[in-house]
Structure 1
């Protein structure tokens, strides 16, 4: 049993380190490209917020959880626990909202001009920034009640009935109250999940129809490389499908964790691992799929090397 705890601890630590480095690396590339004057696409702005939200999820959950399993009892105050749980919930919600917004925006972008989305193709980019800020703002009041039930595991408060979460614990409340609050938390998540699934299906259908239309006019010697829009759509589809799969798996464990008054440490650790899967994997999915950030970053590197060689000559 001790070996299984050790394995879970190593997985949590690896996820936290690798995921944080991946998101930080991708964010740094965006910052470099911004100061170099490169034109970033509208979808890249959404990805920036997704990276920040994923970093919040990893840092506010993975780091203190790793401290707890290593026996470092640094979070003694209730305020520290409440703040970490609140930021983790906000980051998780913004991550879900960003994926939903990214998928819906890409559907509008690749839709034909004779479709019902034609009127939004021009105006949609104007609403990205307000939508992102609205996503952050809405997540704060939705999750503000959550910290009231959280207390520091090593605080001085004498609480007889509590649910242990590793570095923090929550007070046991009435089941009806828990059910109502869970429904409040799940409603925006389920709405975003449904929109993401709809957008993913719509993108697959649009790509299929486009392939059927151009198949008979494509020359035999034409390049088989897809268009930039098609590659970006496939990247978003991969990102969205990974998110949906991981979110459903994570939700199952979180429901089990909420139903049990005294969950086992293994269940707590597995819930943490599944919740951190998408924030850990997503930056590497974006880089491996040759996103605009990935291509422009190396283009900038090549230009910098060329400029250095010309100065030497």
Structure 2
């Protein structure tokens, strides 16, 4: 049977490298500009979430392949798995924050949404604390009931992932936690869709206005706000697509308690696609980071010539 481990390893290394470069680029721009935009802070937080998410996924793979799961390693495995799922939840909420902020940023000053910009900025730390608390609390059951598939012999246990199953748990407790997680995910994805629709409406109005005024130079030159909005819309669309693909695969795997290695292997790969692709999209669309890359390329060229 074809193993997806090499593909996942390449995906994880690529994602960690891209997110790390994105983080260091924002740090570098902070030193140059001596200020930090709220959008940069949220994007920095998103990149950090994805790095931890991919690192814990690699650690889980190494524990499963190279170490026997005794009591000590089983505790490490539970901690890594719990942290990985917490980062997934934070990835959703942070992406939602990014879409909300961009929608507020491009809103006309006369709109009701623009009034929330100052409040949104003032309470950003509170929003971060709430997102972390929600993601941590919703997944606490994993620390008690999640077990590595290789450490158990039962085949009728609910599957959480390729190497993870759920030990016997009260149906009420399991339903409560799963409902809480699913409800929060639906809420954040719903906010993303609403903010994305709002941004699309604003962009289409701006485009029609430019065409009415016959300002070809204004229309041809893409403003930084418009470029950022297009990037966020691309990320939102990609995230929602990957989320529903992963949900479909999870539903297929949930039809049977038995561990289908093919379906679960594909799910493990799909669930990390957004964490790998999103930093590449942000790097390619960020003008200052592009300038840094061009500067580094020019320096390398000069070094090779000398």
- 1:72 equivalent to 2:66? Answer yes
Number of aligned residue pairs? 297
Instruction: Show the 5 A alignment for 1:25-64.
Output: 25-64=21-60
C-alpha displacement of 1:168: 4.1
Alignment match, 2:302: none
Counterpart CA distance in 2 for 1:66 and 1:252 is 27
Give the TM-score normalised by the residue count of structure 2: 0.86
**Runs of 5+ consecutive residues of structure 2 not aligned to the other structure:** 300-306
- Given that 2:138 and 2:177 are in contact with CA atoms closer than 8 Å, whether structure 1 keeps it comes out as no
- Given that 1:153 and 1:169 are in contact with CA atoms closer than 8 Å, whether structure 2 keeps it comes out as yes
RMSD: 2.7
- 1:20-53 CA-partner distances (Å, limit 9, x unpaired): 1111111111222233444332111111111111
1 or 2 for the larger relative contact order (CA 8 Å, sep ≥6)?
1
Alignment match, 2:132: 136
C-alpha displacement of 1:197: 0.5
Give the TM-score normalised by the residue count of structure 1: 0.84
- Partner-residue secondary structure (3-state), 1:151: strand
- 1:86 equivalent to 2:106? Answer no
Counterpart CA distance in 2 for 1:106 and 1:86 is 31
- 1:203-241 CA-partner distances (Å, limit 9, x unpaired): 000111122223222434556121111001001001111
Instruction: Show the 5 A alignment for 1:52-201.
Output: 52-65=48-61, 68=64, 71-73=65-67, 76=70, 77-153=73-149, 155=151, 162=157, 165-173=161-169, 177-201=173-197
- Given that 2:90 and 2:131 are in contact with CA atoms closer than 8 Å, whether structure 1 keeps it comes out as yes
Q: Structure 1 pair 128/251, CA: closer, same or farther in 2 (3 Å)?
A: same
Q: Structure 1 pair 117/301, CA: closer, same or farther in 2 (3 Å)?
A: same
Counterpart CA distance in 1 for 2:100 and 2:174 is 32
**Runs of 5+ consecutive residues of structure 1 not aligned to the other structure:** 306-313
Q: Structure 1 pair 75/283, CA: closer, same or farther in 2 (3 Å)?
A: farther
- 1:42-81 CA-partner distances (Å, limit 9, x unpaired): 111111111111112211124422653xx31265422112
Which residue of the other structure, out of 262, 265, 270, is the alignment partner of 1:266?
A: 262
- Given that 1:9 and 1:66 are in contact with CA atoms closer than 8 Å, whether structure 2 keeps it comes out as no
- 1:297 equivalent to 2:297? Answer no
Counterpart CA distance in 1 for 2:175 and 2:251 is 11
Alignment match, 1:254: 250
Alignment match, 1:311: none
